[in-house]
Structures are given as structure tokens and as C-alpha cells.
Amino acid sequence: MNEYPKLHLKIVIALVMSLIVAIAALPTKKDNQTANIPISLSIETMPTEEPVELAQVPAKTVAQPLWKDITVKNGDSVSSIFTKAGLSATDLHYIMNLGSDVAVLSRIQPGQTIQYQVDQTGQLQNLSYQETPLSKLSVNRVGQKFKAEWDHVKPEILISYKTARITHKNPSLYHAGKEAGLSDNLIMQLSYVFQWDISFALDIRRGDTFTVLYEDVYVEGEKIKEGVILAAVFNNMGRSHTAVLYENRVGQRSYFTPEGRSMRKAFLRDPVHFSRVSSSFNMRRLHPIHKKIMPHRGIDYAARKGTPVVSSGDGKVTVSRRNSASGRYIVIKHGERYTTKYLHLSAFAKGIRAGKQVKQGQTIGYVGATGWATAPHLHYEFLVNGVHRNPKTVKLPKAEPIHAKDQTRFQQLTQPVIARLESVSGLRGYASAANATNASIYKRKTKQNSKLKGE
């Protein structure tokens, strides 16, 4: 080493130190890996805490006012009802000025109900009136005005039938009909259908039978009333009378025979419904008061005092007065040939006086016992060309038939109903037997109209 030049030694040392420094400056493998990792510039979302469920605070609502009901009592009017309820007379004035749609409010009846609704200030908002199960009137406030709206429910029509027999136990149309389950309304309808051909006071006999095909009206599955008689057959003293309802092209409805002859005649057989004959036409009757033979030129119908008496035909009142024998009486002229007289009335109907034109079936007076009478009854006379005839047997003018041009339409519309009537009228069991009812034949659609007023 001593012989090794010093200069060279210094150079070697310097090279070694330089090499050591260079090696130390080189990056390690781990450092290289770190340097190659890309740096993300995005900001990481810091985890948030779970949201705290806050108690739900209910929104503040305004309670709707309840509907209130008022039942109509005797003497009540819509005006007095508004007063009792504390409703505005001004609102009533506006409502009643809506016209014909609210006219029904002036005809309210005891037992009916009016509903109404007011706001927090007591101001009327809505009013409701159910006139029938099928018709409801609603009156609603729109700003400072009111709107009237009718809601007409479309009912379901089912066809039912009843058949009955006149018996010793049920000797009249009324008794047999009630035993068979007919309502008073249907029995009255039936008497009107056949009133031109059958005297229910004179002609009814034991063994007579009748069958009625009629409508039952339902709303939401509940029967609310009976509709019209569609067809009926009455077997009286061995003779069969059949009637069917027909609606012509202009919507007029009437009853006809299956051949198309109108059931309506110029005269009714009885001017008093549901009465009984207490004395018949008899030219040699013993008078109950004078006790001697005196002609009885008419028929006496016994009925309760006040029972309506109707004109047996269209005509003109020629006499309306009172005397000692006839009491209050009326004479009606029917054209040139026919005259009818009505004696012993308790009172005349309103407006009946000499010169007054009357229609067939119009009430002209009421049964009484004025004049020579021992009990309430109507004495009825029928004259042809001034000569008294027996009202029971007198031949009456024939009914006008369906016009020839409408015969085809008439047959098409009525034959199915007549066929159904014939099928059920042959059933056994009459007034004393349970009869099938609610025999659904068809459903008839009714018109539904809603009219708006006051908008």
C-alpha cells in the first residue's frame, strides 16, 4: 500500500464514494410502485349519519258540516222550515226564483224530509229534497247564486201477475183481489180498465175469475211501488173480457181488446166505484117511504156519505139544483140522444153548475141522503131520446178500433203480452191459493233526465 501512488488511491476512494452516493440516490422498488399510483382528484363523500325520523304532524283540516234533516209537519211550508232552521230568507227567495224545477218545494207534504247543509258561518250551501224514491232535487250554492238539479233514478221493471176467484168468502172484486195479494191501487186500476163493460156493483157472480199482469218497480233490489196493468182478463158470467195496454206513436196510452177495439166506451156502467146496488131498475117497486107502488126508473148505489160520484160520459150539465124529492141533483146532456141524472147528493163538486162541460169519469158530486132517501145512496137514471132505460142493460155505442194503418204495429207490440197473459191465466189456484209472483219477463228502460237550472 505504501508503494501505491497516493494520487491513485485518492482517485479510487473518490470513485467509490461517488458510486455509493449514486446507488443511494436510485429509487427503490417500493418507491417506484408508489410513484405509479394515479392520484384521484375526486372528493370522497363522507358517510352520513342515519336520518332521524321526525314525528308526523297532521295537516290541519277543516271539518265538513254535517247534513241536517227536517221532517215536514202539518202546516209546514218551505218558508216556515227555513225560519225554524235559521236559514236566510234571501237564499230562499233566490232558490224559489229558479223556476219550475223547484216548484215542488211549494207542495211539500207532512212526513217528507228536507235535508240541508250550512258552512261555519251558518250560510246555506246545499239543500236536498227526495220527492219520490225515483226523483231527488238538489239545490247547490255556486258563488252567490244557486243551481237546481234533478236526479232521476233508472228503476228496474219486473213483470208480475196475480189471479183470483170470486167466492162466497170473497164476493167482490175488492175482497177477492185483496185475498190474492193485490194492492188497493191495482184493484182500483183493474176496475177502471173494465168499467165500461162490467158493472162491479151489478154483474159480479160467484165463480168469476180474473188475472192481472202488471209492473213491479224496483230500485237497488227493493220494491218501491207497482206500475201499470199491462194486460188483464176478467171472466164474468161466462163471458171473457180481455184488455191490453197500448201506447200509440205520440206516447198516449190506453187499453184495447186483443183485436184492437178500445175498451173506452161512451158511458161508464157505474158512476160510483166500489158500491153495491140497493135497488134495481123496477117499474113496479114498492116505495120505501110512501109504501105504495111507484116506478123506480133508475138504479140505487148504496155507498158511504161523501163517496165521489163521477159523470158516466162526456157532456154538459143542464141542471144543478135541489128540490124536496130529489135533494141535490144533477142532470147531464150527452149529445142529442143521451141524458143521465144523479140524485140525493150530499154536495156538488167544485165548479159544477148549469152550463159546465164535464168529462167522463170527472167527479161531479158526492153520495148523500138528501131528499126522499132513507140512507146514503146515489139514484142514477139513464135516458135515451127522453125515455128511461135500464142502465144495466141499455145498449151503449161501440168503441172505436185502432186505425187500419196502425194495426200491424199494434199486433207486434201487444201479442207477446197477451200470450204471456194467456199462459198465466190458465194456472190453477185463485184467491185462496198462493200464486207465483215477480215472474220476470222483461226489463223496460226508462228515460233518465237531469235538468240544470240557475247556472
Domain-wise residue ranges, the chain:
68-152, 156-265+399-425, 276-389
Phi, psi of 233 (to 5 degrees): -130, 135
Residue 39: its pLDDT value, please?
43
Q: Which one-letter amino acid corresponds to residue 382?
A: F
Per-residue pLDDT tens digits for 407-418: 999 999 999 999
CA 435 to chain centre: 25
Asked whether the beta carbons of 360 and 268 are under 8 A apart, the reply is: yes
Q: What is the per-residue burial (b if ≥16 Cβ within 10 Å, else e) of 214-229?
A: bbbbbeeeeeeebbeb
In words, the CATH class of domain 276-389 is mainly beta
* Residue 354 or residue 46, greater confidence: 354
Residue 274: its pLDDT value, please?
77
Angle between helices 173-180 and 184-193 (to 10 degrees): 130
Per-residue pLDDT tens digits for 417-429: 999 999 998 743 3
Per mean pLDDT, which of 63-67, 117-121, 339-343, 371-375 is the most reliable? Answer: 339-343
CA 117, CA 64: separation in Å to the nearest integer?
A: 9
Inter-CA distances, 277 with 224, 259, 285, 345, 379, Å: 36, 32, 15, 16, 10
Counting residues of the chain whose pLDDT is more than 90, the rounded percentage is 57
Q: Do 68-152 and 276-389 share a fold?
A: no
User: Does residue 143 have a pLDDT over 90?
Assistant: no
Per-residue pLDDT tens digits for 358-399: 999 999 999 999 998 889 999 999 999 999 999 888 888 877
Residue position matching grid coordinates 218558508: 79
Output the pTM of the full model. 0.66
CATH number of 156-265+399-425: 3.10.450.350
User: What average pLDDT does the chain have?
Assistant: 82
User: Does residue 272 have a pLDDT over 60?
Assistant: yes
CA 82, CA 80: separation in Å to the nearest integer?
A: 5
**Average pLDDT of the residues in 311-330:** 96
Residue 41: its pLDDT value, please?
42
Q: Are strands 135-142 and 145-152 parallel, antiparallel or unpaired?
A: antiparallel
Architecture field, domain 68-152: Roll (3.10)
Residue 15: its pLDDT value, please?
72
Per-residue pLDDT tens digits for 20-38: 666 655 555 444 444 444 4
Phi, psi of 408 (to 5 degrees): -65, -45
CA 360, CA 396: separation in Å to the nearest integer?
A: 14
**Average pLDDT of the residues in 285-294:** 58
Per-residue pLDDT tens digits for 190-215: 999 999 999 998 889 999 999 999 99
SS (H, E, C) the chain: CCCCCHHHHHHHHHHHHHHHHHHHHCCCHHHHHHHCCCCCCCCCCCCCCCCCCCCCCCCCCCCCCCCEEEECCCCCCHHHHHHHHCCCHHHHHHHHCCCHHHHHHHHCCCCCEEEEEECCCCCEEEEEEEEECCEEEEEEEECCEEEEEEEECCCEEEEEEEEEECCCCCCCHHHHHHHHCCCHHHHHHHHHHCCCCCCCCCCCCCCCEEEEEEEEEEECCEEEEEEEEEEEEEEECCEEEEEEEEECCCCCEEEECCCCEECCCCCCCCCCCCCEEEECCEEEEECCCCCCEEEECCEEEECCCCCEEECCCCEEEEEEEEECCCEEEEEEEECCCEEEEEEEEEEECCCCCCCCEECCCCEEEEEECCCCCCCCEEEEEEEECCEEECCCCCCCCCCCECCHHHHHHHHHHHHHHHHHHHHHHCCCCCCCCCCCCCCCCCCCCCCCCCCEECC
Residue 455: its pLDDT value, please?
35
Neighbour tally for 18: CB within 10 Å:
10
Residue 340: its pLDDT value, please?
97
